[in-house]
Amino acid sequence: MCLAIPGKLLANYEENGVSRGRIEFGGIIREACMDFLPEAEIGDYVLVHVGFAISRIDEQDAEETLAYLRELGTLEEELGNLPEHTVENSPPESQGLFAAKPAGVQQ
């Protein structure tokens, strides 16, 4: 099953003409396309489905949904097998997907 996962937008930038965002999903950080949500601002919570941010969501609903997904053991399954970047273990730009901070990243 494929779910839309709520996460907090940490950074916005453009890459090859595509609006991108760095998003935290309960401590796990991934990138997503932001083209469908040009109005999203850093600090907003967004729903991400198959790599695309598709709508904004309020913080309370996002946190409740993340808690349910963790309880079901679905959060990690839905986020895939990409190298994990967590808020606790290192700055995301220091390794893996974020080895080079894209030009124009807002934090």
Domain boundaries, the chain: 5-87
For range 80-104, the mean pLDDT: 42
pLDDT at 100 over 50: no
Burial 7-36 (b: 16+ CB within 10 A, else e): bbbbbbbeeeeebbbbbbbbebbbbbbbee
Q: What is the pLDDT of residue 84?
A: 47
Q: What is the mean pLDDT of residues 34-51?
A: 95
- Name the CATH topology of 5-87: SH3 type barrels. (2.30.30)
15: left (phi over 0), alpha (psi -120 to 50) or beta: beta
Position 97 pLDDT exceeds 70: no
Note the pLDDT of residue 99.
33
* 92 CB-side CA count, 13 A: 22
